[in-house]
């Protein structure tokens, strides 16, 4: 009698001769199943986990206003040669600069303990535009020095890269000019200072720096922004310059309208950064660039806290412009900051970037934490676990790729020779593939966590 639909489905089985048992799965079927399961489990780690975090707009205010404190020391009137005055007095002198303009014609070497105090940032002006462009350095800091209550500008660079800077030793030094301060001493302190319209930097060097109530703008130009040599920033600190302490504290300051970066830590290595209660507004590239830094020494870390970032990143053709870039770097805490306006420029609040090609090599985003920031529609890019592809492109690549090769070979052997090898050997190959698959999945689970981004709204 033919079965009806009510009798249920008709099940047809293929039997081995003389046996009612179902044949064992082929090795290729086992391996294929393992690969499918492996991709399901490891899939989230095979691609780049860099979610863009958006928030729900805040505005920045103008610069701080300050009144110069009374100065007790050597009174210095305008019209004198400031370089000659400072050379003729012992270290540790306090120079009380009168209201007016002091024009520099050569670089001044500042001695240990010297204090240069003006009559106010809107009253005392130091102009370095008469120093030859190839030697455009206004003050060389060699020890502990303080500048306060004055305006400083005019350190020049050549007009373009057809001419190069000359360093303090008289040798070609392409990035050695255009600087108001070269800070290779013990500590430079700037308080209530306007620093602007220098060819490259307000401050460059690698020694400790404290800046409070500083208004910094328009430091940089064609020469210092030459591709492949760009070094334009209000502050650029780099451990490659010398092996100084490198601690940097920036508070209550206004960093704005920089054609390049606001502040830039480039392979700092030797000190910590504390950036708090500042405003970063309308800077062309990155307001803060933390690059190849963090973890080289015990103190090599940064705190960026309670700052305002507005309309940064208007330059075109740059990588991840905007508020803060963490570029192949580690050990930075970015918290309780307010961002807005970067998204309108196609830029980011925070951009976390890693390149395995940098020399010396760096781990990936260890200790990078971005939390409790107000985004106001701006975005964070680069949070989350490292991708498996990028993990394989590291010093552990040999082991990782070897395991993947073993998995692939086992599967191909099982598929191509399944009939000749027989069921048992096929199953063994499948089990081998299973082991390799588990190891690959385990590798995915052990990928570095990358940057941690929490509670940014």
Q: Could you tell me if residue 82 is left (phi over 0), alpha (psi between -120 and 50 degrees) or otherwise beta?
A: alpha
Residue 319: what pLDDT? 76
> Does 401 share its domain with 379?
no
**Positive or negative torsion for Cα 323, 189, 180, 98:** positive
Measured in whole angstroms, how far is the alpha carbon of residue 180 from the centre of its chain?
24
> Does 318 share its domain with 424?
no
Which residues touch 207 (CB under 8 Å, ≥6 apart)?
A: 141, 183, 184, 185, 186, 187, 188, 242, 244, 245, 246
Domain's final residue, options 383, 410, 431: 383
CA distance 107 to 116: 15
Residue 400: what pLDDT? 56
Question: In the Cβ-directed half-sphere of 194, how many Cα atoms lie within 13 Å?
Answer: 22
Q: Which domain holds residue 406?
A: 23-48+395-454
CA distance 175 to 257: 21
For 238-247, b/e burial (b = at least 16 CB within 10 A) is bbebeebbbb
> Does 311 share its domain with 425?
no
Single out the residue of 229, 111, 223 nearest to residue 178, CA to CA: 223
Residue 101: what pLDDT? 98
Give φ, ψ of 390 to 5 degrees.
-75, -30
> Does 164 share its domain with 217?
yes
> Does 122 share its domain with 236?
yes
Which segments of the chain have a pLDDT < 50? 1-19, 21-22, 24, 27, 39-61, 241-242, 387-397
Residue 141 domain-assigned? yes
Instruction: Give the distance between the most distant pair of CA atoms in the chain.
Output: 122
Name residue 233's beta-bridge partners.
201, 261
> Does 306 share its domain with 416?
no
pTM comes to: 0.77
Cis check for the bond before 360: say yes or no (omega within 30 of 0). Answer: yes
Residue 6 domain-assigned? no
Residue 51: what pLDDT? 42
> Does 368 share its domain with 437?
no
Q: What angle do CA 432, 41, 23 make, to 5 degrees?
A: 45
CA distance 229 to 205: 16
3 state DSSP class of 20: coil
User: Whose structure tokens read 């462009």?
Assistant: 133
Residue 15 domain-assigned? no
Residue 182 domain-assigned? yes
CA distance 315 to 283: 8
The number of domains in the chain is: 2
CA distance 81 to 419: 96
> Does 127 share its domain with 255?
yes
Domain's final residue, options 383, 416, 444: 383
CA distance 249 to 364: 25
> Does 368 share its domain with 414?
no
Single out the residue of 239, 217, 218 nearest to residue 292, CA to CA: 239
Number of H helices, E strands in the chain: 5, 29
Residue 60 domain-assigned? no
- Give the CATH number of the domain where residue 213 resides: 2.160.20.10
User: Whose structure tokens read 């190891």?
Assistant: 439
CA distance 340 to 408: 49
Looking only at the bridges linking them, the beta strands covering 53-54 and 379-381 are: antiparallel
Domain's final residue, options 360, 383, 406: 383
Residue 168: what pLDDT? 86
> Does 130 share its domain with 156?
yes
CA distance 333 to 273: 10
First-last CA distance in the chain: 71
CA distance 291 to 365: 11
Residue 157 domain-assigned? yes
> Does 294 share its domain with 187?
yes
Q: Could you tell me if residue 120 is left (phi over 0), alpha (psi between -120 and 50 degrees) or otherwise beta?
A: left
CA distance 342 to 320: 11
Residue 189 domain-assigned? yes
> Does 436 share its domain with 300?
no
Residue 139 domain-assigned? yes
CA distance 330 to 332: 6
Instruction: Using CB atoms within 10 Å of the CB of residue 170, give its burial: 0 to 12 exposed, 13 to 18 middle, 19+ buried.
Output: exposed
Yes or no: say if 272 and 300 are a contact pair by the CB < 8 Å rule. Answer: yes
Q: 214: part of which helix (H) or strand (E)?
A: strand 208-217
């Amino acid at each position: 009698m033919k079965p009806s639909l009510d009798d249920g489905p008709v099940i047809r089985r293929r039997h081995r001769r003389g046996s009612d048992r179902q044949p064992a799965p082929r090795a290729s079927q086992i391996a294929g199943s393992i690969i499918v399961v492996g991709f399901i489990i490891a899939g989230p780690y095979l691609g780049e986990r860099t979610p863009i975090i958006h928030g729900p707009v805040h505005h920045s205010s103008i610069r701080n206003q300050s009144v110069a404190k009374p100065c007790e020391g050597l009174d210095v009137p305008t019209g004198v040669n400031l370089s000659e005055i400072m050379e003729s007095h012992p270290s540790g002198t306090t120079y009380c600069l009168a209201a007016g303009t002091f024009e520099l014609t050569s670089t001044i070497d500042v001695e240990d303990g010297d204090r240069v105090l003006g009559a106010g940032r809107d009253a005392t002006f130091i102009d370095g535009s008469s120093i030859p462009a190839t030697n455009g350095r206004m003050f060389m800091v060699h020890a502990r020095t303080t500048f306060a209550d004055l305006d400083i500008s005019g350190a020049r660079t050549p007009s373009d890269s057809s001419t190069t800077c000359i360093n303090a030793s008289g040798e070609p030094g392409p990035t050695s000019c255009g600087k108001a301060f070269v800070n290779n001493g013990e500590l430079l302190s700037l308080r209530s200072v306007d620093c602007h319209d220098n060819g490259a930097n307000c401050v460059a060097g690698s020694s400790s720096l404290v800046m409070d109530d500083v208004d910094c703008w328009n430091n940089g130009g064609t020469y210092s922004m030459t591709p492949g040599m760009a070094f334009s920033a209000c502050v650029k600190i780099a451990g490659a310059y010398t092996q100084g302490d490198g601690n940097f504290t920036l508070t209550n300051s206004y960093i704005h309208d920089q054609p390049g970066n606001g502040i830039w830590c480039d392979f700092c290595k030797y000190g910590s950064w504390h950036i708090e209660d500042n405003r970063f507004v309308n800077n062309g590239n990155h307001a803060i660039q933390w690059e190849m830094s963090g973890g080289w020494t015990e103190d090599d870390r940064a705190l960026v806290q309670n700052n305002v970032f507005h309309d940064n990143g208007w330059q075109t053709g740059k990588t991840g412009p905007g508020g803060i870039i963490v570029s192949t770097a580690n050990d930075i805490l970015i918290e309780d900051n307010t961002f807005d306006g970067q998204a309108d420029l196609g830029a980011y609040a925070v951009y976390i970037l890693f390149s395995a090609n940098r020399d010396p090599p760096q781990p990936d985003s260890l200790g990078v934490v971005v939390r409790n920031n107000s985004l106001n529609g701006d975005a964070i890019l680069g949070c989350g676990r490292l991708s498996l592809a990028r993990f394989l492109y590291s010093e552990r690549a040999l082991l990782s790729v070897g395991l993947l090769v073993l998995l692939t070979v086992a599967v191909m052997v099982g598929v191509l020779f399944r009939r000749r090898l027989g069921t048992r050997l096929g199953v063994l190959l499948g089990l081998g593939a299973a082991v390799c698959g588990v190891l690959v999945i385990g590798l995915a689970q052990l990928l570095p966590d990358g940057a941690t981004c929490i509670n940014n709204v």
